[in-house]
Amino acid sequence: MENKNILRILLAFCMILWASIGVGTRVIDLNSFELAFFRASLALPILIIFLKFSKSPNKMLPLKYIVYYIFT
């Protein structure tokens, strides 16, 4: 039961973050390209850290996918 509550809280948090993107783009004085670049630059290290510390059995990405993510 506790696990379901934690998952619901995380889902609600993700929904709030997703909904706040529109508000954040109005407040921040950057064009859309710069904003997307900074968001992706922030997301890539977070994803790498998450994959490194996750307990899933398939936690290592092949190097070619990591290179694709860096260049995109």
For the cut 70, the answer to whether the pLDDT of residue 56 exceeds it is no
Band of pLDDT at residue 64, cut at 50, 70 and 90: confident
Amino acid at 32: S
Asked if pLDDT for residue 59 goes beyond 80, the answer is no
Tens of pLDDT, residue by residue over 8-52, are 898 999 888 888 877 777 787 888 888 888 888 888 888 878 877
pLDDT at position 57 is 64
